[in-house]
């Protein structure tokens, strides 16, 4: 008789077990999803809105209004081709930029060389793996990573913030917005496990985001402003933008 698997001992064991409930090829959040993201970023001419070399309009707005300190350490989660990483570096941050995709990281490094940017370290890695990133960070920025995580991996996400975000530091993200004009799936959390897929990502309401990050103080939660093609900023109304502060 084959041995019975009774290997669940830790929270991480449970999270890995839940990862396995998704269909093969559905993974976009662990090392197993790296090949999918490499394929996503392989064709740089695809009409993907956020392939443009422009920072998020909300990120520019935070700095313009004095909501970011600048000059400290910043972590860019799921940095992609590095458009927000380079903007953070221009604000004086020392930036660690992490993405699962080696293709995206190579593209980001090329952009950094072309811009003559310094102060950014790009890494192809899983930010949630132990020892990948070491805080404290004065700013953690996420433009489009969070909404690609299955519900159970919010536990990993919150643990990462708790570990690396400095007291008094700020955390900001953009995420698919639920409702009219939004993107992403609005299924209940449990339905994703029945379906075995995330259907392109999870959509959130502003109330959802405030609840998930309830341990942080919300400074601003709003729809991202759409930006015209000629704008030096990226903006799309199908996203929420949210800015939180960790109390000292």
Q: What is the pLDDT of residues 177-208, one digit of tens each?
A: 998 767 899 999 999 999 999 999 999 999 99
Neighbours of 154 (CB within 10 A): 15
What is d(CA 110, CA 81) in angstroms, rounded to the nearest whole number?
9
Run of H or E including 137: strand 137-143
Place of tokens 């707005």: 61
The predicted structure's pLDDT at residue 88 = 97
Alpha helix (H) residue ranges in the chain: 11-19, 34-42, 57-64, 83-90, 102-115, 154-164, 189-195, 206-212
Please report, in tens digits, the pLDDT of each residue of the chain (248 residues total).
566 778 899 999 999 999 999 998 999 999 999 999 999 999 999 999 999 999 999 999 999 999 997 789 999 999 999 999 999 999 999 999 999 999 999 999 999 999 999 999 999 999 998 888 999 999 999 999 999 999 999 999 999 999 999 999 999 999 999 987 678 999 999 999 999 999 999 999 999 999 999 999 999 999 999 999 999 999 999 999 999 999 99
Kindly state the DSSP code that residue 204 receives in the 8-state scheme: B
> What six digits make up the tokens of 244?
């939180």
Q: What is the pTM of this model?
A: 0.95
pLDDT at 2: 61
Q: Helix, strand or coil for residue 71?
A: coil
Radius of gyration over every alpha carbon of the chain, rounded to an integer in angstroms: 18
DSSP state of 138: E
Helix (H) or strand (E) holding 108, with range, is: helix 102-115
């Amino acid at each position: 008789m084959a041995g019975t698997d009774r290997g669940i001992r830790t929270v991480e064991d449970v999270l890995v077990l839940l990862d396995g409930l998704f269909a093969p090829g559905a993974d976009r959040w662990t090392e197993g999803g790296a090949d999918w993201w490499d394929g996503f970023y392989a064709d740089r001419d695809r009409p993907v809105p956020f392939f443009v070399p422009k920072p998020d309009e909300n990120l520019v707005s935070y700095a313009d209004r004095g909501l970011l300190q600048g000059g400290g350490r910043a972590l860019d989660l799921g940095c992609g081709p590095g458009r927000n990483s380079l903007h953070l570096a221009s604000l004086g941050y020392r930036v660690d930029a992490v993405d699962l995709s080696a293709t995206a990281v190579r593209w980001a490094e090329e952009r950094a060389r072309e811009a003559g940017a310094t102060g950014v370290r790009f890494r192809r890695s899983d930010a949630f793996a132990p020892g990948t990133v070491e805080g404290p960070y004065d700013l953690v920025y996420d433009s489009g990573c969070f909404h690609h995580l299955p519900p159970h991996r919010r536990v990993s996400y919150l643990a990462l913030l708790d570990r690396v975000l400095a007291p008094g530091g700020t955390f900001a993200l953009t995420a698919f917005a639920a409702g009219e004009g939004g993107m992403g799936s609005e299924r209940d959390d449990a339905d994703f496990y029945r379906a075995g897929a995330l259907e392109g990502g999870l959509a959130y309401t502003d109330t959802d985001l405030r609840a998930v990050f309830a341990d942080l103080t919300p400074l601003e939660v709003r729809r991202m402003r759409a930006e015209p093609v000629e704008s030096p900023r990226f903006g799309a109304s199908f996203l929420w933008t949210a800015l939180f502060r960790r109390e000292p």
